[in-house]
Amino acid sequence: METNNRVWFVTGASKGFGLALVKLLISTGHKVAATSRNIEELERQVGGADKNLMPLKVDITNNRDVKGAIQQTVETFGRLDVVVNNAGYAIYGSIEELSDEEFRQSTEVNLFAMVNTIRNAMPYLRKQKAGYIINFSSAGGYKGYGSSAAYSAAKFAVIGLSEALAEEVRHLGVHVTVVAPGFFRTSFLDKGANMYAKNVIPEYNTTEVKAWMQRMNGKQPGDPQKLVKLLIDITKEKNPPLHLIAGPDAYQIVAEKLKADAEEREAWKNVTFSTNLEN
């Protein structure tokens, strides 16, 4: 399959990275199944169905919905080449503030929905012995921050999921890349784009986090157009990276976290090595 004429399945396509990616794909000759919960907004942004674009209203937390959307993609375009699990959102609040429903819903959208997509895409990719799966994590998937435990828990899991998936499908000719962006100038920090715990406990700093994000909005250093072009480029590689750290800020966060982990690991090495049975 020509690298400029692939079939892509993109979740969360009505805004942010998903929208930027869909627009670039269409402009460069690819075929795209673009999914969103808000089909009206999606069609307003990218237009209605044509020979290269199929907008789909999909509840990605519903396995049956996802299975039907992927089946429709293959029936319409004849194959499936690249799956991009981009959809997600953040909910902020301490673990004590977050309700069970709020925490679980975050995990449903940010993690289990991704599993739905992978589960239903793999039969097609496995049969053709080729394909790419791109999963969006975050710099917050390498380092946990206070007031974002639900988001970090899911994004940490996405990295582990992607590493395991890569081992499972490598011999089938399917490549996996997990993307960990830093702050990019998308709508991610817009008012209403994310959520906050309904239960507010004054002793925690969730209000300060909210104020910081509002100050940061519109000043993010990352260029989403450069990232989505990079995503297209890596699918042309025979050996794309498993881990793609996106942005100097993300690189610094991950590097500092790995350094701190290594220092702590060495400091407690004697304790670690003391746990085996005595011979």
Q: Is the pLDDT of residue 149 over 70?
A: yes
Residue 264 falls within a domain, yes or no? no
Q: How far apart are CA 219 and CA 221, in angstroms?
A: 6
Which residue in the list 14, 106, 137, 147 is annotated as catalytic?
Answer: 137
CA distance 165 to 159: 10
Residue 273 lies in a domain: no
Report the C-alpha gap between 210 and 3 in whole angstroms.
Answer: 42
Is 152 assigned a catalytic role?
no
Is the confidence at residue 3, as pLDDT, over 80? no
Cβ pair 90, 151 in contact under 8 A: yes
The DSSP 8-state label assigned to residue 93 in this structure reads B
Q: How much is the pTM? A: 0.91
pLDDT band at 216 (very low <50, low <70, confident <90, very high): low
Quick check: is 132 in a domain?
Answer: yes
Domain extent at residue 117: 7-251
Look up the CATH number of the domain holding residue 156: 3.40.50.720
Q: Which of 92, 132, 142, 151 is catalytic?
A: 151
Residue 37: inside a domain, yes or no? yes
The structure tokens 């673009």 sit at: 34
pLDDT tens for 222-265 read 688 999 999 999 999 999 999 999 989 999 999 999 999 999 99
- Interstrand relation of 131-136 and 91-92 (parallel, antiparallel or unpaired): unpaired
Is there a catalytic annotation at residue 89? no
Asked if the structure places residue 257 within a domain, the reply is: no
Number of domains in the chain: 1
Interval 91-143: pLDDT, tens: 999 999 999 999 999 999 999 999 999 999 999 999 999 999 999 999 999 99
Residue 148, domain member (yes or no): yes
Residue 107 included in any domain: yes
Residue 32 pLDDT greater than 90, yes or no: yes
φ and ψ at 177, to 5 degrees? -130, 130
155 an active-site residue? yes
Q: Tell me whether residue 75 is in a domain.
A: yes
